[in-house]
Amino acid sequence: MNSAVKVYNVKKYFKKTGKLIEALKGVSFEIKRGEIYGLLGPNGSGKSTLIRLMSTLLYPDCGRIEIFSHDVFEDENIVKRMINRVSVEASFFMKLSAIENLRYACGIYGLPFGKSKEHISNMLEQVGIPKNRFNDPLENFSRGMQQKVAISRAFLTAPVLMLLDEPTTGLDPKAKREVQSMVKDIVREHDATVLLTTHDMEEAEKLCDRISIIHHGKIVAEGTPENLKERYSAQTLEDVFLEAIGVKFEEADEDE
């Protein structure tokens, strides 16, 4: 068994103020074990919807997702133990400290605090949170630091599939580089498979083994960064996008 993730013809619709939104219009792809797979697309193209479907937070209207051969919807509880996620927003109890937040995050996965305590401080140190800030409310942390705590939260439960939903969006360039290299290191160390969504071309190229380009809820191109550029005789992924979609990436955002 070589596949970590199989997505078959997944469709998801929403109703928003009476209007039907087709967030995913039949998406299929496969991620191999140990791969860092990039989902590259403008705002509103359906990236987060796909991540939520894989995280058991949304149910599809059509299609199937398998994670390490387990159907996400039938084996929800098995899948939940195999995945974790980092999203754009830090999603913490902002008044609580890093330790308090992570203690809760480990606890709900069934890890007793006595056992996870050391694990938590090691992980926080590894992502570069100074020891004297461990007990500060997270609201006093910079976005970059919050995102690093979010990364530790995700890896603390030792997931085999890591879902990274625009983990660097909104970070300053320095924090962005730090988070990117952290992702690379920790992934290697934990031997995890990664699905990374981004609308940062450079990031996709830097981190991902393979990339698919998603637009209007459909995958329009897939391949390694090199073979995408080759296929569209393009210099950069921006050009690949322009060729594949016919619109410039910066102009392709779908949310008003």
Partner 1 sequence: MNKGDILKEFYAGLAVVIRNFDLVKRYWKWEIVFFAYTIANTVTMGFVGKSMGGGNRTILYMIIGATMWSYLSVLFEVLAETVAWERWEGTIEYTFMSPMKRITHLLGTCGFAIVYGMLRTFLLFIIVAPLFGINLGSMNVSATLMVLAIASISFTGFGMMGAVLPLISPEKGVQVVHIFQAFILMISGVYYSVNVMPKWMETLSYFSPATYALEAMRKTVLNGEGIWSIMDKLAPMALMGMLFLPLGLFIFKWGERFSKRKGFLKRNG
Contact footprint for partner 1 (CB under 8 A): 12, 14-15, 48, 52, 55-59, 77, 80-81, 83-85, 87-96, 100, 103-113, 137, 153
Strands 193-198 and 36-40: parallel
Instruction: Tell me which amino acid residue 132 is.
Output: N
What residues contact 108, with CB distance under 8 A and at least 6 apart? none
* Residue from the set 118, 251, 255, 256 that interacts with ligand ADP by CB under 6 A: 255
**97 interacts with Mg ion by CB under 5 A:** no
Q: Which does 46 bind (CB under 5 to 8 A by kind): ligand ADP, Mg ion, partner 1, none?
A: ligand ADP
Q: What DSSP element (H or E) covers 11?
A: strand 3-16
Identify which of residues 112 and 173 has a Cβ nearer to partner 1 in the complex. Answer: 112
**CA 166, CA 158: separation in Å to the nearest integer?**
20
Contact by Cβ (8 Å): 124, 133: no
> From the list Mg ion, ligand ADP, partner 1, none, which binds 251 (C-beta under 5 to 8 Å, kind-based)?
none
Q: Is 136 left (phi over 0), alpha (psi -120 to 50) or beta?
A: beta
254 belongs to the binding site for ligand ADP (CB under 6 A): yes
Q: What is the signed CA dihedral for 215, 218, 220, 223, rounded to 10 degrees?
A: 100
Q: How far is the CB of 63 from partner 1 (least distance, A)?
A: 14
- Distance in angstroms (rounded) separating the CA atoms of residues 43 and 130: 34
57 binds, among partner 1, ligand ADP, Mg ion, none (CB under 5 to 8 A by kind): partner 1
Nearer to ligand ADP, 57 or 142 (CB): 57
Check if the beta carbon of residue 29 is closer than 8 Å to that of residue 7: yes
With CB under 5 to 8 Å by kind, the binding choice for 229 among partner 1, Mg ion, ligand ADP, none is: none
48, 55, 168, 193: residue in contact with Mg ion (rule CB under 5 A) = 48
Contacts to ligand ADP by CB under 6 A: 14, 16, 21, 23, 41, 43-49, 254-255
